Structure 1
Amino acid sequence: MTALWVVVPAYQEAARIDGALHALARQHDRDFTLLVVDNGSTDATGDRVRAFAEHAPFPVHLLVEPEKGVGSAIDTGFRHAIDHGARLLARTDADCLPEPGWTAAARAGLLASDGLVCGRVTARHDEHGPVGRGVFLVLVALGAFFGRIRPAHRRRHGYLTPYRMHAGNNMAVTADLYLASGGMPRRPSPTDRTFINRVRRRTTAIVHRRDMVVQNSTRRIRAYGLRGTARWYLERGAGHRDVDIR
């Protein structure tokens, strides 16, 4: 099969990364290599990854990226994977739970589109009740709507396809497109929006798969509050808050 690598950036995630690792171990399609990029953690994140690697059902690599920022971690990880033979790339985050069909849907979407695949995000069931999960989905929907109508995202600016909200913790891209688009910006945030706009200037092959599902952490809601989280998803930035809530 075409070589698929899953890249997971992690920073100070010793308390949470086991959930992501075991969710990946439960995938129906486990014909992939996992690369965790430790973004300079000072806790036991790396130890948790090494312990998991001893019994993982797929190859596991741990790479340290000292340059702070999720964009730096992802760009280093994707380029490392490509240099080691990856043709297909998928990404989730260390505080997320990919559902069992995630890698299979990512692979199918990439082989069919030869481009960028955006998945569907839901809220983790272990962090909030139905109300909190509903609020999260409303915020995501508002962010997607705002992104579509934002003047800076209109096609007259040289984009080949309409804007689609791109959840960085649930995406997949071919190695060729990643390199051709210039890759993930290493800084500043918001790296995900900048990346999808780079891709929009290169291709129309951007697809959405509802069966490519990741349960997303809702800790931003607790860290920012409802108003601050809405500001984030409506592309108004983090205000006075630190972008990295970890």
Structure 2
Amino acid sequence: MTRLWVVVPAYQEEALIEDTLRALAAQRDRDFTLLVVDNGCTDATVAKVRTFAAGAPFPVEVVSEPEKGVGAAIDTGFRHAIAAGATLLARTDADCLPLPGWTAAARAGLRDSRGLVCGQLTARPDEHGPLGRASFRAMVVLGACFGRIRPAHRRRHGYLAPYRMHAGNNMAITAELYQAVGGMPRRPSPTDRTFMNRVRRHTTAIVHRRDMVVQNSTRRIRAYGVVGTARWYLDRGAGRCRVDIR
């Protein structure tokens, strides 16, 4: 028997998390447990999750991880799920909208690959307007291209598989593989590239599914600007910006 858990890290997300919860409730495959990781919220985020849980179409749990950063929150969430019996793990973020076929695609991808599944990212249609969405698309494409040509990512450095664009807010992995690679780096964002490279050193079982779609928030562009966002995704900070949106 396979047990799927969906893990969502959350920090000060009272404005957006209800949209994410509704998107998860609209999944065609709802045979999963939802785990929200409270990463030090002081707003109404957790209260909104508990209100949703009372009528949710699947079990909902909340755990706390006070150590700042999405890496620590995800690692705590995944390990909690594994300890509770999870064999399949999926992740999205508390400002994202998984499309209705998301969990079904994640489950199918894990069944076929028994490894890591990377999904497709698009921009939320209710944020930032056409220019922001176009900027987001461009950054996703450029990030994927940069990752493939970056000398440090070449297979001569001990990687078993080619580099793939890995968005932490749209991924799924088997519990066995997650533990084998040592888990998510317990650090602030961005953690995706480091985690992907841990997986690449361990296995070739990495697949991309275009039907595993999450609509991503473009608010980082609004907070950091296009240049600052690009710097942040390249792990060079966001310049002078000090906005903490984790």
Q: Answer whether TM exceeds 0.5 for this pair.
A: yes
Q: Secondary structure at the match of 1:120?
A: strand
Q: 1:194 maps to what in 2?
A: 194
Amino acid aligned to 1:225: G
Q: Report what 2:32 is aligned to.
A: 32
Question: For residue 50 of structure 1, what is the aligned residue in structure 2?
Answer: 50
Do 2:7 and 2:89's aligned partners in 1 also have CA atoms closer than 8 Å? Answer: yes
Q: What secondary structure sits across from 1:208 in the alignment?
A: strand
| Closer/same/farther in 2, CA of residues 150 and 244 from structure 1, 3 Å limit | farther
Trace 1:50-129 onto structure 2 (pairs within 5 A).
50-129=50-129
After the TM superposition, which residues 146-225 of structure 1 pair with which residues of structure 2 at under 5 Å, given as runs?
A: 146-225=146-225
Preserved CA contact (<8 Å) 1:140 1:233: no
What is the TM-score when the length of structure 2 is the normalising length?
Answer: 0.97
Decide whether the 8 Å contact of 1:89 with 1:172 is kept in 2.
yes
How far, CA to CA, are the matches of 2:142 and 2:233 in structure 1? 7
SS in 1 for 2:185: coil
**SS in structure 1 at match of 2:122:** strand
AA aligned to 1:24 is L
Q: Which residue matches 1:141? A: 141
Does the 8 Å CA contact 2:160/2:202 hold for their aligned counterparts? yes
d(CA) in 2 for partners of 1:226, 1:72? 27
- Report the alpha carbon displacement of residue 188 of structure 1 after superposing the two structures with TM: 4.7
Instruction: Please state how far the C-alpha of 1:230 moved relative to its aligned partner.
Output: 2.4
> How far has the Cα of 1:243 moved from its partner?
7.2
Deviation of 1:241 after TM superposition, in Å, equals 3.0
Match of 2:41 in 1: 41
> Secondary structure at 1:185's aligned position in 2?
coil
Structure 1 residue 128: Cα displacement: 2.8
Distance in 1 separating the partners of 2:220 and 2:40 = 21
Task: Tell me the SS of whatever aligns to 1:122.
Answer: strand
AA matched with 1:172: A
Q: Percent identity?
A: 79
**Structure 2 residues not aligned, in runs of 5+:** none
Distance in 1 of aligned mates of 2:203 and 2:168: 18
Q: Which amino acid aligns with 1:207?
A: V
- Aligned-partner Cα distance in 1 for 2:164–2:128: 27
Count matched residues.
246
In 1: Cα distance, 2:15 partner to 2:130 partner: 24
- Give the match's secondary structure for 2:34: strand
TM-superposition CA deviations, 1:41-70 (whole Å, max 9, x none): 001111000000000000000001111110
- Secondary structure, aligned partner of 2:6: strand
CA distance in 2, matches of 1:206, 1:243: 33
Rounded Cα–Cα distance in structure 1 between residues aligned with 2:75 and 2:159: 22
Q: Is the 8 A contact 2:4 2:32 kept in 1?
A: yes
Gaps of 5+ in 1: none
| CA distances 1:168-202 after superposition (whole Å, capped 9, x unpaired) | 00000000000000000101542111101000000
Aligned partners of 1:94 and 1:190: how far apart in 2? 16
- Hey, what's the Cα distance between the residues in 2 that align with 1:242 and 1:74? 23
Distance change >3 Å, CA 25–CA 144, structure 1 → 2: same
Amino acid at match of 1:193: R
